[in-house]
């Protein structure tokens, strides 16, 4: 019975680690992909509507680039995704627009034009929301609901608690061997994550972009790569800890 429980805990640990990893990666992928492919152009377009008559073409292109590359665009995207997944009921992107204007476009736009932009974009934010919700029914709604649950704070906390309980169970049952189990789990999680990464790359290479709307090329996998690197590093850190802890024991046994 004890052996059976140990096997189950060893199998469940890398699964939980992978689920936690993918919860954060999928949210990051969704935000960055939708931000780049949909919302960035729409929001920047509304902002440029108010600027177009105030600056020359070269300055306009420069401003457009700064808006589209602003980190606050990802925060705006996150808010719209929260609306679509039911995490929030109302959209308010006023603060993010203010930050773009004050930090990214501090010297490019006159103050009186900034206030016009704030008012105009605030009015248009609901229109963007309505357009995003058009056609989101049936299967798409179910997918968004699953995404919302999978990336929710409650789901992540539950997985982290289960992961900690799993490790505590292994400590009780395996004692010193638990470090080896954690090390192996880290490497397994990294391998599975790498398979997911390769899968996306294969999709982007072999699936016709016309059929997929071109969105596969826009998927941002930087966070997934970062998670793989962190998992491998943690695996090696645990391996080193095991080796360091093992050496004194070996020395003692030799003296005996």
In 3-state terms, what secondary structure has residue 73?
Answer: helix
Q: Would 16 be classed as within a structural domain?
A: no
Contact 235, 183 (CB under 8 A): yes
203 domain-assigned: no
Nearest CA-CA partner of 43 in 108, 127, 135: 127
Percent of the chain scoring above 70 in pLDDT? 76
pLDDT of residue 210: 47
Q: What is the pLDDT of residue 253?
A: 40
| Regions in the chain scoring below 70 on pLDDT | 30-39, 86, 127-145, 203-220, 247-256
Number of domains in the chain: 1
Residue 44, in any domain of the structure: yes
- Domain enclosing residue 113, as ranges: 22-141
Return the pLDDT at 219. 63
| 245 domain-assigned | no
Please check whether residue 108 lies inside any domain of the structure: yes
pTM: 0.62
Residue 221, in any domain of the structure: no
- pLDDT given at position 104: 79
> Which of 223, 231, 230, 228 has the alpha carbon at shortest distance from 26?
223
Instruction: Write down the pLDDT at residue 14.
Output: 92
- Tokens 């997911």 correspond to 196
CA dihedral (26, 75, 32, 140) in degrees, to 10, reads 60
For residue 190, tell me if it sits in a domain: no
Give CA–CA dist 238/231, Å, rounded.
11
Residue 214 resides in a domain: no
């Amino acid at each position: 019975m004890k052996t059976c429980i140990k096997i189950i805990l060893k199998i469940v640990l890398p699964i939980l680690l992978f689920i936690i990893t993918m919860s954060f990666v999928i949210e990051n992928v969704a935000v960055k992909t939708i931000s780049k492919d949909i919302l960035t152009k729409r929001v920047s377009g509304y902002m440029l509507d108010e600027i177009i008559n105030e600056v020359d073409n070269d300055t306009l292109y420069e401003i457009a680039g700064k808006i589209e590359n602003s980190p606050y665009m990802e925060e705006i995207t996150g808010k719209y995704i929260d609306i679509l997944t039911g995490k929030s009921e109302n959209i308010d992107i006023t603060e993010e627009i203010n930050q773009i204007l004050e930090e990214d476009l501090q010297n490019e736009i006159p103050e009186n034009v900034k206030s016009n932009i704030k008012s105009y974009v605030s009015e248009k934010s609901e229109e963007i929301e309505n357009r995003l919700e058009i056609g989101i029914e049936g299967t798409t709604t179910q997918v968004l609901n699953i995404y919302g649950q999978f990336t929710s704070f409650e789901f992540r906390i539950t997985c982290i608690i289960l992961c900690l309980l799993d490790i505590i169970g292994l400590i009780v049952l395996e004692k010193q061997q638990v470090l080896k189990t954690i090390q192996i789990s880290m490497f397994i999680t990294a391998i599975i994550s790498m398979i997911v990464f390769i899968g996306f790359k294969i999709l982007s290479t072999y699936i016709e972009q016309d059929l997929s709307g071109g969105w596969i090329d826009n998927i941002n996998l930087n966070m997934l790569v970062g998670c793989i690197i962190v998992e491998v590093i943690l695996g090696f850190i645990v391996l080193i800890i095991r080796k360091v802890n093992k050496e004194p024991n070996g020395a003692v046994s030799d003296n005996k």
